[in-house]
Amino acid sequence: MAGPALTDTADFDREVRVAIAECVTERGVVPASSEVAVRIAASESDVSDAFGRLAAARVMILRPGTTDILSFNPFAAGPTDFTVRSAGREWWGLCAWDAFGIPAALGSDGVVQGACADGCGVPLEVRLAGDAVGALDGVVIGFALPAREWWKDIIFT
Amino acid sequence: MLLFRSEEHARSWRDAHGFPDATTISVETGWRLAHAWYARKLQPDWRRHTLEEAETLFASLGLGGEFWRLRA
């Protein structure tokens, strides 16, 4: 399992990205580098390096200080404040935008469950089906920071 | 990006946490935005939007002005 030549890095990174997407589609999970390595018959070290490059290219977000995927946006690797039921599975999004993006990426309807962020904690559910959106009257999505600042601290964003 | 029960709750959060530029969009716009942004993410030919494409997308959803500007 030789590592990719420098000239092949873009192709290798694409192969890794596609393998991650396949894990999401087929198994409903955001994979570890070890699973991707087995799937594409590459070394875990090479896959971890690709994870780093994909994160730098803002294809996904890694847990700080690791090469573990925090979110292959919109799909978070583990539980968050936003739970999504879509395509027969339960998923998590890092934020409301990502939560809405999960059924969009899956090409399916979905139900997003979260809570009002204003301390009141009122449970909120948004049903997304085709062009229809169902939610309590008045529910909104809030953006704290202007668009140009989102990637300065994407985990906060 | 957070969910709020109402604009009033969003304003309360904005003031309490010191984000004077914070804004809101409707869940309907959020769904259209998420669909346009992520519909192809699992496809092999997916690529990131360019800044220009992203700004064009925002504008097509009525999201304009300084808050939604990506380029200097």
CB contact under 8 A, A58 and B48: yes
CB contact under 8 A, B1 and A97: yes
Kindly list the distances between the CA atom of residue A73 and the CA atoms of A30, A100, A153, B51, in Å, as whole numbers in the listed order.
Answer: 10, 11, 15, 18
* Residue A136: closest CA among A148, A127, A147, A146: A127
Q: How many residues does chain A have?
A: 157
State whether residue A148 sits within 8 Å of chain B by CB.
yes
User: Which uninterrupted H or E stretch holds A56?
Assistant: helix A44-56
pLDDT over 60 at A3, yes or no? no
Kindly list the distances between the CA atom of residue B54 and the CA atoms of A83, A116, A137, B59, in Å, as whole numbers in the listed order.
Answer: 26, 27, 28, 9
What's the pLDDT score for residue A8? 86
Same fold, A6-72 and A77-153: no
- Alpha carbon A21 to chain centroid, angstroms: 10
CA-to-CA distance for A69 and B32, rounded, in angstroms?
A: 26
A117, A135, A138 ranked by CB distance to B2: nearest? A117
Contact B40, A17 (CB under 8 A): no
Chain A 99-118, CB below 8 Å of chain B: which residues? 100-102, 104-107, 112, 114-118
Residues pairing with B24 in the sheet: A142
Topology at the third CATH level for domain A77-153: Bactericidal permeability-increasing protein; domain 1 (3.15.10)
What's the pLDDT score for residue B70? 86
Residue A110 DSSP label: E
CB-CB neighbors (< 8 A) of B31 in chain A: 100, 104, 128, 133
B4, B16, B46 ranked by CB distance to A142: nearest? B4
pLDDT over 90 at A85, yes or no? yes
**Hey, what are A67's tokens?**
């090469």
Substitution target in A80, A118, A120, A155 with the highest count of B β-carbons within 10 Å is A118
Q: A7 or A121: whose pLDDT is higher? A: A121
Kindly list the distances between the CA atom of residue A108 and the CA atoms of A18, A34, A53, A154, in Å, as whole numbers in the listed order.
Answer: 20, 29, 30, 26
Domain residue spans of chain A: 6-72, 77-153
Q: How many residues does chain B have?
A: 72
**How does pLDDT run across B41-64, given as a tens digit for each residue?**
999 999 999 988 999 999 999 998
pLDDT over 80 at A108, yes or no? yes
User: Which uninterrupted H or E stretch holds B25?
Assistant: strand B23-26
Query: Span A6-72: which CATH code?
Result: 1.10.10
pLDDT over 80 at A154, yes or no? no
Q: Which chain B residue lies closest to A17 (C-alpha atoms)?
A: B44
ipTM: 0.94
Residues pairing with A113 in the sheet: A83, A125
Q: Where are the beta strands (DSSP E) in A60-154?
A: 61-62, 69-72, 75-76, 82-86, 89-93, 110-115, 123-129, 132-134, 140-143
